[in-house]
Chain A
Amino acid sequence: MTISVGMTVNGKSVSGKVEARTLLVQFLREHLGMTGTHVGCDTSQCGACVVHVDGKSVKSCTLLAVQAEGAKVLTIEGLAESADKLHPMQEAFRENHALQCGFCTPGMVMSAIDMVKRHDYKLDEATVRRELEGNLCRCTGYHNIVKAILAAAPAMKSAGV
């Protein structure tokens, strides 16, 4: 059964024809060609697919595209202001070597931005580690990811994002 679906992705209106069973991550990757959001597992645990839907971080592999009808979706591709101006979280990941193979990174960054905002830009190491429960990384050992998120929180606050 094909359904027409429309939503805003990274500020742009998009639409497409999907099946009811099409996942949001499939809509993003296959219909919109936005392959920055990744699929790493099939049990909704790895977090590589995390995006923001109406301001909330969700696993796009566990949401039907039709459930995002009319929603505002933010993905990794929509974070940087321009090619030269990265979001403070992206910048912090870079400065702290918080990524190696890059596969978990989009979901990790999206989860990280969400946690900073929910904690009103005030985080400590224990909180960051707990809030990363839904994001697996096999390369970095998390050490630098935690450093990056702790560094990004005040930077995000100053930048007003």
Chain B
Amino acid sequence: MTAATGIGARVLRTEDKRFLTGTGRYVDDLPLARATYAYFLRSPHAHAKIKSIDTSAAKKMPGIVSIFTGKDLVDAKVGGLICGWVVKDKHGQPHKAPPHPIMAVDTVRYVGDTVAMVVANSHDEAKDAAESIKVDYDVKPANIDLAKALDKGAVEVHAEAPGNLVYDWEIGVKADVDAAFAKAAHVTKLDLINNRLIPNAMEPRAAAADYDKGTGNYTLWSTSQNPHVLRLILSAFVLGIPEHKLRVIAPDVGGGFGSKIFCYADETMVCWAASRVGRPIKWTAERSESFMTDCHGRDHVTHAELALDKDGKFLAVKVATIANMGAYLSTFSTAVPTYLYATLLAGQYTTPLIYANVRAALTHTAPVDAYRGAGRPEATFVIESLVSKAAAEMKMDAAELRRKNFIPSNAFPYQTPVALQYDSGNYPPIIDEAMKIADYKGFEARRAEAKSRGKLRGIGFSSYIEACGLGPSRVIGQLGGGVGQWESAQIKFNPTGNVQVLTGAHSHGQSHETTFAQIVSDKLGVPMEQIEVVHGDTATTPFGMGSYGSRSLAVGGSAIMKASDKIIAKGKKIAAHLMEASVADVVFEQGTFKVAGTDKAVPLGAAVFAAYVPHNYPLEELEPGMDENAFYDPSNFVYPAGTQICEVEIDPDTGEVEVVAHTAVDDFGNIINPMIVDGQVHGGIVQGVGQALMENAVYDKATGQLVSGSYMDYTMPRADNVPSFKLGNKVTPCPHNPLGVKGCGEAGAIAAPAAVMNAVHNALAPLGVKHVEMPATPLNVWQSIQGARHAVAE
């Protein structure tokens, strides 16, 4: 099976050639003849009424083609942006869904809210004119502090959501959980913040649109992770352009991490305005604009408790979370702190009773939606912080407490108390391997050595599990999701034997052009250089749901397997005809159809040629052509799991935290390309370290200004902030998809924050520091140490 280019092989990437030579084609690179350039005027206030907008002076400036405001959209009866997931609250009522106009009409609700679009012959001319637009704002107080957003008297963001409550949702039976807590020998409590993050893919969001007057067809280029979904939303809900008249192309896209899933105001405007302007329109966000307008991630305030018996067995978990939605509900926002969060609160453990209450709140900040991990990092952080804290309180080893509570390997499929049924897994060997790689045994000696240098060393665990490979459509529908989550594949052979593999998934760094080709190469025996993976264009690829939620391989790859099966099935019939054998006697191995026990053979290429030149061909029973598609709807999510161990050294004089070692052992099921998988883990770990130690989206509580509005104040992890990583790998194949794979794209970011913060707490415990909030910046750590010192002194 493992040919040099097949499944499991470390195949170098097809996509590298163009990226390494500067010949990639990202949206901003596209040369569009006679293009105009769009610039968006954005609100400088977190909350204000718009009394008037005067564009008269701006319209007269050089190079100006058109200027649009929210009123133009009202006059044209254009819809608003949508939230595609209806969450039912604890009383069965759908969540409050305030309107989300594409551009603000009478109220702006966050710094960065879209107020006007200027279209000009050049970017500078557009920007010059935007400065001459006179907006008369009546500035109002802003609701910024999430912890207080639902309090009585808090400034209301939308009248349609009284008290700023979008929903009050729960899972589990509170009475049962309370009863378990009442009998517990030990209860560990935690109040924690999951800090707000700004995704910051290195390519800023961009869009370009062109309208063909002759055909009435629109083309929209967008940095989208899911071009078909974007097209569906724009067509059915927002602009009303029929789907078949709107082509959405996501070319090379420079990273997404969730932030490029959603349907945004700017790309919607660029599309809508293209037919009114009569020339192509290009727009690329400036980085500071991205900071303000890309959907932010995380932003929870949580109180959590873990009940244990005297031996450390977990009896129950209860969690209360307030989740920030921002000022408007973004496309998937409502699902992230509910179905992608609370359903993971069992972790890798046999905890029998779990209750979670989540209240989603509106604030005068940018919309919050999925960001790498989307809900699962938040869940892992809660559980793994509780477990390590419990271990410390009960004076048990952190690994031992986990082991005691792992779901045993013979318990799968395992039904958790929070809806999800884990299909497979074996957790003890993972933590064993992680501890071996991390040299856990040697830690205390390293701690002592660090102490002699005046440094505090700590070690922390994070045993994560996550649910990805979105997902079974029926389940998603039951939970309120507005779309299915299947995936498509089309395997289209050409007469000369080369093949295009078209997928509804989209790669913005995930290497599908290589890994999907590997699958086809392995299954059909076609050399890699004869395979082209095509993605991102709604005109050529079958309808697909795009890439996010670590689904491309588990769902998209499975669709490719199904399509491959169809190719083989058809090929067998053709080969049987050519070999004058019965179909039942034909086998397919290493790219060739054979009749077992004979030396009759028909290479796949010959069967393909025959299908397109069907002179000697069973035309009465079989259509010509070798072009099969498949749609795959998974029967369950997939459940990658693993353990990360982080080791830090803290300088108590400055509060600086250095990550000196970080180990990750993961079970991703079968591995298609280990090099790609490792790369995903590396990147995810660093995003997790970023969350734990550096990154924080900060709004001024009084004015709602985005204080961390650029890389000058938002700390991005750099190469010198992290070490090289030590990875390990265990395999329990997924039993319900044809590849046996589990998603790997988000795991690193899901597990890492807890591993890092547990290490930080472990390092600072000797100083009496009880709690450090994320991010554990030098300032934050130093203040925590000072606080502990004063507490001791008192």
- Interface of A toward B, CB cutoff 8 Å: 21, 29, 33-43, 45-46, 48, 75-77, 79-80, 86, 90, 93-95, 97, 99-106, 109, 125-126, 128-130, 132-133, 135-147
Contact with A along B238-258 (1 / 0, CB 8 A): 000000000000001111010
Chain B residue total in the interface (Cβ 8 A): 58
The A/B interface has a contact count, at CB < 8 Å, of 178
**In the complex, how many angstroms separate the beta carbon of B751 from the nearest chain A beta carbon?**
13
Q: Is the CB of A142 within 8 A of B686?
A: yes
Q: Judge whether B22 and A137 touch: CB under 8 Å.
A: no
The segment from B306-314, B496-504, B508-516 that touches chain A is B508-516
Q: Are B725 and A143 in contact (CB under 8 A)?
A: yes
Chain B residues within 8 Å of A106, by CB: 22
Instruction: Mark the stretch among B105-113, B195-203, B646-654 that contacts chain A.
Output: B195-203
A19 and B529 alpha carbons, distance in the complex (Å): 45
**B719 A36 Cβ-Cβ under 8 A:** no
Partner of B29 from the list A35, A133, A143, A147 (CB cut-off 8 Å) is: A35
CB pair B202 A137 closer than 8 Å? yes
Q: Is the Cβ of B509 less than 8 Å from the Cβ of A139?
A: yes
Q: Which residue of B lies closest to A107 (CB)?
A: B202
Is B711 at the interface (CB under 8 A from chain A)?
yes
Establish whether residues B720 and A80, one from each chain, have CB atoms under 8 Å apart when the complex forms: no
The one of A43, A46, A102, A138 that contacts B19, using a Cβ cutoff of 8 Å: A102
Contact A97 B675 (CB under 8 A): yes
Q: A43-B712, A141-B683 are known contacts. Are A104 and B202 too (CB-CB below 8 A)?
A: yes
Docked complex Cα distance between A93 and B722 (Å): 19
Point out the residues of chain A lying under 8 angstroms from B687, CB to CB: 138, 141
Which residues of chain A come closer than 8 Å to B597, judged between CB atoms?
Answer: none
Of all chain A residues, which has the CB nearest B10? A97
B616 at interface by CB-CB < 8 Å: no
Do B724 and A101 touch (CB < 8 A)? no
Set of chain A residues within 8 Å of B23, measured between Cβ atoms: 36, 77
Q: A100-B511, A101-B253, A102-B15 are in contact. Are A130 and B720 (CB under 8 A)?
A: yes
Contact in complex: A94, B253 (CB < 8 Å) = no
Q: Is the CB of A103 within 8 A of B203?
A: yes
Cα distance A42–B288 in the bound complex, in angstroms: 7
**How far is the CB of A76 from the nearest CB of chain B, in Å?**
4
B676 to A97, Cβ gap below 8 A? yes
Closest beta carbon of chain B to A135's beta carbon, Å: 7
Cβ contact of B20, chosen from A90, A125, A145, cutoff 8 A: A90
Per-residue A-contact encoding for B199-241, CB less than 8 Å = 1, 0 else: 0111110000000000000000000000000000000000000
| A80 in contact with B21 (CB, 8 Å) | yes
Which residues of chain A are within 8 angstroms of B124 by Cβ–Cβ distance?
21
Residues on B with C-beta less than 8 A from A146 are 719, 724
Contacts of B722 in A (CB 8 A): 141-143
Q: Are A90 and B22 in contact (CB under 8 A)?
A: no
Q: Given A36-B23, A79-B21, A143-B724 in contact, is the A48-B12 Cβ separation under 8 Å?
A: no
CB closest chain-A residue, reference B725:
A143
Which residues of B (481-518) have their CB < 8 Å from a CB of A?
508-511
Q: Is A136 a contact of B202 with CB atoms below 8 Å?
A: yes
